[in-house]
Amino acid sequence: MGEKLKRLKFFFVALVLLCPVFVLSQVQERFPKPDFESGYVRPDLLTPAPRAAVWEYMDIFVLVVALSLATYFAHKQRSRRNIFLLMVFSLVYFGFYRKGCVCSVGAVQNVSYALFNPAYIIPVSIILFFVFPIVFALFYGRTFCAAVCPLGAIQDAVILKPVHVPEWLASLLGVFPYVYLGLAVLFAATGAGFIICQYDPFIGFFRFGADFNMVILGLSVLLLGTIVARPYCRFLCPYGVILSWMSRLSRRHVRITPDECNKCRLCEESCPFGAIKKADDESQPIKKEGDVKRMAVIFVLLPVVVFGSGWVGSRLDISLSRLHPTVSLAEEVLLENSGKRTEMIDATKAFRASGKPSEELFSDANSIQNQFHKGGWILGAFIGLILCLKLISLFIRRRQLEYDVDKGICLSCGRCFAYCPYEQVRLGLMTPEELRELDRRDVKIKQFRA
Amino acid sequence: MKEREAKNRIKRRDFFQKSFHTIVGLTIGGLAGILSSKSSAEEMVWQLDPNICIQCEKCAVNCVLPHSAVKCVHSYSMCGYCDLCSGYLQPGAKSRDTGAESQLCPSGAIKRTYIEDPYFQYTIDEELCIGCGKCVKGCNSFGNGSLYLQARHDRCLNCNQCSIARRCPSQAWKRVPASQPYILRGDESGKYLNG
């Protein structure tokens, strides 16, 4: 027994001494496979399969059906109730059941990753998740946002007492989605990671678990969402930028009134998202003095601003590229090679074990930094352009003849429908005579005031 | 005269909008076409390459699931069935038995069963395994390397951006086709082409 223990001790000491040699070498047949005499049969290694492809197609099917229903509810039925019910269904299905992955918002990154990395094979289901809401928005407006997107749904469900965000502030905050979109595309295209998924504030709720910071972020966005309706959708969502542009071009878009607008102003405060364009007072001309001059100034400044912000973007290349794993690894290796740090970290240990020469890593990191340099130019110029266009759009004033939705902002949620007296007539809750009577009274009041 | 002008303007605006609409529609179609040329009908799933893995123990804590989808798996075909198993026993363990103080696994997820002299079988209880890879390190260092970590696809949510992959120091994680969802060792690797 003592002999055995001694041998065991020796064995361990030898092994501990040899440890540095062995740690990095793997898969070695140090011990021969045993020959069993007792008729022992080796158990199988179980390899449970991932979710079957059928279910991925099921998701796409649900997406298309939900989009069609949302469009039908908003355009034909004009029923806020049905839109809300569909929204709850989407929250449960795409959010809590599918755990929020993959969503159309995140698919933006897969698409840009696929476009710039030939090695990445993008699954068809992700392409369809990306394309379908866009196509629907191009024809019918943002019905996806209204009732299909789980991120929108969870925020819509907590709207309690929405405050009116001043137009200039909303316009200013509206720049953030463009910045976020630009950054997400840059990071995805260079392979640095998917930041939209990483900083998704609601995914923790869908999964009933996230790290502490993300839970705090999610809770604060939801808390903010009680007074500022759908803050993520309006002031952050990168996919919303794309949908908003599609919606602006849409052939058919929901209108507040099913018939005509009598400018009764009843719908004025009904939209929590500030998407209702008020009708102009026809008796007063639109003030235009100075606008042309200001616009001309912006047009002259436009190339300067675009170039300047492009330059700023390109100067950020080094700090942005640090988010790329290859670049950050190269920096760590460089730190060790130069002797500034003597102790290895996990990442550099793994790199050195792989036997890849440092020079190769450095040249890889260098080419990635070059990509970031180019990308930084494009991103900066893009943001500059957006800023200028936002400014210009403030000076473009078109005569608004009736109350209508701003196609870019409107989510087709259907909240305003019921405020319109013509909608009440359509639903049979009011007779046309009553409406005419109301109109007549309204005209009289106006005359009285005048 | 003015009326006609207004009418024309509306028509012009309408025309511009229509043409923009068509152009954007065609662009989206083109984009979808380009993408579909780079696509496959198959889903991609996350998996870690055990040959790159350095058992840093991050898999145990960085999964979005409360209990990590990464578990230790065992290629029995490679196992030496040793009595003195460096994946099972603490280095310097006083005795080679199933006592908690001798075990390397922090959650006692490895079951040791006697087969015949001098062989023991080691099985992983996935319910208990936390995916830390301590046993993997032991087995790789002194044994045959038959224990290694894998994302188990009955648990993995297949997030668009894997939360573990993002923090993996050895960049061992990659997207693999759903038909070959594991990277296995030994005879078991025959199950999938990319062994």
pLDDT band at A3 (very low <50, low <70, confident <90, very high): low
Out of A162-171, A216-225, A275-284, least confident range:
A275-284
| Rounded Cα distance, A310 and A316, in Å | 10
CA atoms within 13 A on the CB side of A5: 5
Percent of chain A with pLDDT over 70: 92
Position A416 pLDDT exceeds 90: yes
Q: Do B44 and A121 touch (CB under 8 A)?
A: yes
- The pLDDT mean for chain B works out to 89
Q: Do B141 and A207 touch (CB under 8 A)?
A: no
Q: What is the mean pLDDT of residues A50-78?
A: 93
How does pLDDT run across A104-113, given as a tens digit for each residue?
999 999 999 9
* pLDDT for the residue numbered A393: 84
What is the per-residue pLDDT for A24?
A: 45
Confidence band, pLDDT 50/70/90 cuts, at residue B192 = confident
Say whether pLDDT at A224 is over 70.
Answer: yes
Beta bridge partner(s), residue B71: B150
A14-28, A369-383, B86-100, B179-193: range with lowest mean pLDDT = A14-28
Residues A88-126: pLDDT tens digits?
Answer: 999 999 999 999 888 999 999 999 999 999 889 999 999
The whole-number average pLDDT for the span B107-121 is 92
Q: A203 — contact with chain B (CB < 8 Å)? A: yes
Cβ neighbours of B65 in A, within 8 Å: 207, 209
**A280 or A65, greater pLDDT:** A65
| pLDDT single digits (tens) A227-254 | 999 999 999 999 999 999 999 999 899 9
What residue type is A244 in one-letter code? S
Residue A26 has pLDDT above 60, yes or no: no
With bands split at pLDDT 50, 70 and 90, how would you rate the model's confidence at A434? confident
How much is the pLDDT for B169? 93
On the question of pLDDT at A258 being above 90, the answer is yes
> Partners of B121 in the beta sheet?
B113
Q: In this complex, is the C-beta atom of B90 within 8 Å of any C-beta atom belonging to chain A? A: no
Is residue A256 a contact partner of residue A424, using CB atoms and an 8 Å limit?
Answer: no
pLDDT in tens, A352-374: 988 889 999 999 999 999 999 99
- The distance of B19 to chain A (nearest Cα, Å) reads 10
Task: Take residue A158 and report the two structure tokens written for it.
Answer: 């907590």
Residue A59: pLDDT band (50, 70, 90) is: very high
pLDDT in tens, B43-97: 899 999 999 999 999 999 999 888 999 999 999 999 999 999 999 999 888 888 8
pLDDT of B170 reads 92
Q: What is the pTM assigned to this prediction?
A: 0.89
Q: How far apart are CA A70 and CA A145, in angstroms?
A: 10
Of A28, A135, A350, the CB nearest to B170: A350
Q: Is the pLDDT of residue B178 over 50?
A: yes
For chain A, the average pLDDT equals: 89
CB burial of A161-183 (b: ≥16 within 10 Å; e: otherwise) equals ebeebeeeebeeebeebbbbbbb
Instruction: Summarize pLDDT for A273-308 with one digit per residue, the tens.
Output: 999 999 887 777 766 667 788 888 888 999 999 999
**HEC profile of A36-81:** CCCCCCCCCCCCCCCCCHHHHHHHHHHHHHHHHHHHHHHHHHCCHH
For chain B, say whether A345 makes contact (Cβ under 8 Å): yes
Chain B residues touching residue A210 (CB < 8 angstroms): 64
Gap between the Cα atoms of B143 and B141, Å rounded: 6
Which 219-258 residues of chain A touch chain B by CB within 8 A?
A: 245-246, 249-251
Q: Is a pLDDT exceeding 50 seen at residue A1?
A: no
Interface test with A, best of B13, B64, B125 (most A CBs within 10 A): B64
Structure tokens at B123: 């099985």
Chain A positions touching B143 (Cβ under 8 A) are 30-31
Gap between the Cα atoms of B130 and A233, Å rounded: 37
